[in-house]
Amino acid sequence: MGSLEKSVQRLAGALDALESRLDMQRADLAAKSETIEQARLRARTAKTQATAAAEDLADAVRDLRTLIAPKKES
């Protein structure tokens, strides 16, 4: 086998290795992107739940103030 053929084979091997590394990096990025999207969804859900809890707490405080407030005599 001539040196040109060996060089072509080495180049083909190097390109295959590069393609494999790129595929692995692409898969890693896709997994990270999915993880980030899941975290965003959890954050949105937590925000919604926190907002609802804050509203419930505010309602409870208003109810307590009404119960505790001195009654005005007519």
The model carries a pTM of 0.60
As a dihedral over the C-alpha atoms of residue 29, residue 31, residue 33, residue 39, rounded to 10 degrees, the angle is -150
Closest among 33, 57, 37, 55 to 45, alpha carbons compared: 37
Residue 25 CB-density burial (10 A; 0-12 exposed, 13-18 middle, 19+ buried): exposed
Per-residue pLDDT of the chain (74 residues; tens, 9 = 90+): 789 999 999 999 999 999 999 999 999 999 999 999 999 999 999 999 999 999 999 999 999 999 998 877 65
- For position 37, what pLDDT does the model report? 96
Helices (H), 1-74: 3-68
- For position 74, what pLDDT does the model report? 59
